[in-house]
Chains A and B, each alone.
Chain A
Amino acid sequence: MIKDFLFEICSNQFVSGFEYSNGHILEKYFDAFTDSLERDKIGSYIFKSNGTKDTKIMLAAHIDEIGLMITSILDGGFLKFTSVGGINAASLVAQDVTIFGKENIFGVIGIKPPHLTSDEERKKPIKIEDLFIDTGYSKEYLEKIVSIGDVAVIKREPISLCGSVMSAKALDDRACVAVMIETAKELKKISHKSNIYYTATAQEETGCRGSKTAGYKIDPDIAIVLDVDFGMTPDMPPDTASLGKGPIVAIGGRLNPKLTKKFIDVCKEYNYKIQYEAVPAATGTDTESLQINREGIPCILLSIPLRYMHTSVETIDIEDVKNTGKAIARFINEIDNSDLEEILCF
């Protein structure tokens, strides 16, 4: 089921600020394990599973993805664009895109032939402002179906690689939305006492905005933030985490040390594989806005190792997703049966 979900959700767009259009896919998968759905006013989806006591636990994984936004329609059917979120222009060259105008149309992002590219030009990094989308349509027709501000995404179907490894666009951070589904499924089996809020946050890629408003709305006692982190490839530093070795537990100033330790202890006790990373300051995740929401929310941050971040070939191991989901369910079960105030007390 996790794989089905990932294949379906990664084939659809949730560009930051445009998360409203494909919510039915989330509902389809969360419905069986949760009791209600609410939205914050920015666009985050909050699936709640009712508990028997007052404690509120928020899980946060962002549903939004980086994308492109049309800035100008040129003669000859070409479209100029800018990025929504951080994109390396080099990763856009020779890609297909889907443009979400009044109707969905396809386009390609090309580049000048090598024959005509001077040595000097080749040495320069490609910039987004140098690129354009070719749709094949006339300007007159395009103006009827596309307007400035419409978004586009790279068109790429998810693929299975060896074993449980898969590649797709937007696995940052849908891999972690899948983690929440796995946790919800587990908790449905073993039941839970706390109220659990599975939050698919909006606009993380443009500045952790949806988690700020969803966090305010939920007002949780603790938050478990889920995001992706760099996975090992031959060009990465030696201390990079590996695929298939479990979630990366972040340790640092943004995270609550006692809650983090509790998670590590639970994983050790129940033999869940984990990896570690030191994050001295900013994490670049929803913890940025959640930690300082209202009077402060104790957070832990777990990351799924992922290769080629912010490209259309993001690669993960689905086993990491499943194991992380199960470990979180076990962790919540332990929290349910202990004194949370005592855990959080410094």
Chain B
Amino acid sequence: MEFNSKLMKDLSNCFSPSGREKNVREFITNEIKDYVDEIKVDALGNLIARKKGTGKKILFSAHMDQIGLIITHVDEKGFLRFSNVGGINAKELLGFRVVFDNGYEGVICSEKLEEKEKITFNKLYIDVASTSPDFVKTNFQIGDMCVFQSQYYETEECVICKAADDRIGCYILIEAIKNYSETETDVYYVFSVQEEVGCRGAVTAGYGINPDICIALDVTATGDSLDGIKMDVKLDGGAAIKLMDKSLITHPEIKDLLTNLAKENNIKYQYEVLEFGGTDAGAIHTTMSGVPSGVISIPTRNLHSCSEIFHKNDVLECIKLVNAVTKQ
């Protein structure tokens, strides 16, 4: 299987911060609608596709939303004050370009600071490159959201793009759907909303489906760069089978299932223990009387920045593992 660069680029460029997932939902719907038996959108906006079967109910989940910023105030001079949607560190924002759903762009600037280390959201503002406060007030309102702007770039090995968290998970599920082979398993592919603000979509999708098992597809950090994160996961190390994060301790049956399937099918894998963060599986595994759950993670550098990096080989291994789970 070849890496589908166009698909990943299009997914990455969909404007869809948490709570505003319409664009990416429409894009994914168009990609998969001819390949699935059922497709629907639940009350919170989760896109739920199904390949029907008479066997065990499996829920795969990848979240559609991306982190972003929300306008809290438009000032007299036409500068925008903002807050975060999802986990964003104010210290890293200075100089980032942002883009709005209407296509307008801006840049994140800061008031004069004595100490750069003490930067907080209330010292930052967005300059949308206009000298006319009236123009700004007409085109930007409180509640408008924007996301990081960056160019999609690809090498032989890797991709640099925004919102790899978790469009790469969406990519894997889309490819898994397109390469699905007939099985008795009743498979639900959930493209969830609002993961970045607390796995809210996954809660309702999990309740609505009440599956026998759940596997989330999401990015994880790596310990192979110089950013100081200490863990054994690395790029090109294969699909990462998560064993614990702050939201989930992987069910032993799921750990064994994923490990054995990887071994049987010659899928390259690595184990992952993440000391921060969580995924949709954290929300879904305590649904009703419980759902044995795990996560297939895509090792990714620079998480929650405008330039996340992942390895194409890892993605292909993840797709194989998803389809191995579907088939068993």
Contact = CB atoms under 8 A, between A and B. Distances in A.
A82 B231 CA distance: 10
Contacts of B231: 71-72
B271 A209 contact: no
A133 to B, nearest CB: 14
Given A69-B273, A148-B271, A149-B271, A84 B289 contact: no
Interface string B234-267: 0000000001100101111001000000000000
Contacts of B81: none
Contacts of A289: 286
A82 B275 contact: yes
B255 A149 contact: yes
A40 B287 CA distance: 11
A213 interface: yes
B273 A213 contact: no
A42 B289 CA distance: 8
A41 B290 contact: yes
B232 A148 contact: yes
Interface stretch (A15-23, A25-33, A230-238, A307-315): A15-23
Contacts of B273: 69-71, 82, 148-149
A40 B247 CA distance: 18
A147 interface: yes
Nearest to B233: A148
Contact of B243 (A16, A149, A207, A210): A149
A148 B297 CA distance: 15
Q: Most chain-A CB neighbours within 10 Å: which of B287, B288, B290, B292?
A: B290
B225 to A, nearest CB: 16
A129 interface: yes
Nearest to B213: A41
Best-buried of B230, B286, B287 by chain A (most CB within 10 Å): B286
Contacts of A148: 232, 243, 271-273
Nearest to B212: A41
A17 B271 contact: no
A106 interface: no
A42 B271 contact: no
B239 to A, nearest CB: 14
Question: DSSP majority for the B interface?
Answer: loop
Given A17-B249, A129-B230, A149-B273, A216 B244 contact: no
A209 B286 contact: yes
A286 to B, nearest CB: 12
A192 interface: no
Contacts of A147: 271
B82 to A, nearest CB: 30
Contacts of B230: 71-72, 80, 129
A84 B244 contact: yes
Mostly, the A contact residues are: mixed
Contacts of A18: 249, 252
B252 to A, nearest CB: 7
A261 interface: no
Nearest to B259: A147
Contact of B286 (A17, A69, A80, A213): A213
Given A71-B231, A148-B232, A216 B249 contact: no
Contact of B292 (A41, A69, A129, A217): A41
A41 B287 CA distance: 10
A72 B232 contact: yes
Interface in A201-215: 203, 206-207, 209-210, 212-214
B289 A213 contact: yes
Contacts of A129: 230
A97 B136 CA distance: 62
Interface in B286-310: 286-292
Contacts of A210: 290
Contacts of A206: 249
B311 interface: no
Contact of A42 (B243, B247, B286): B286
B285 interface: yes
Interface string A209-248: 1101110110000000000000000000000000000000
Contacts of B289: 40-41, 213-214, 216-217
Contacts of B287: 213
Contacts of A84: 244, 249
Nearest to A15: B249
Nearest to A147: B271
B161 to A, nearest CB: 28
Contacts of B292: 41
A6 to B, nearest CB: 25
Contacts of A209: 285-286
Interface string A281-300: 00000000100000000000
Contacts of A72: 230-232
A216 B232 CA distance: 37
B255, B285, B289 interface centre (most CB from chain A within 10 Å): B289
A51 to B, nearest CB: 21
Given A71-B232, A80-B230, A148-B243, A20 B249 contact: no
Given A17-B249, A84-B244, 14 more contacts: A17-B251, A40-B290, A41-B251, A69-B243, A69-B244, A71-B230, A148-B272, A148-B273, A149-B243, A149-B250, A149-B255, A207-B247, A213-B290, A217-B288
Q: Across chains A and B, which 4 residue pairs bring their CB atoms closest together, nearest first?
A: A17-B249, A41-B290, A149-B243, A213-B290
26 contacts: A16-B249, A18-B252, A20-B252, A40-B289, A40-B290, A41-B290, A41-B291, A42-B251, A42-B290, A70-B273, A72-B230, A80-B230, A84-B244, A129-B230, A148-B232, A148-B271, A149-B244, A149-B250, A149-B255, A149-B273, A203-B249, A206-B249, A213-B286, A213-B287, A217-B289, A217-B290
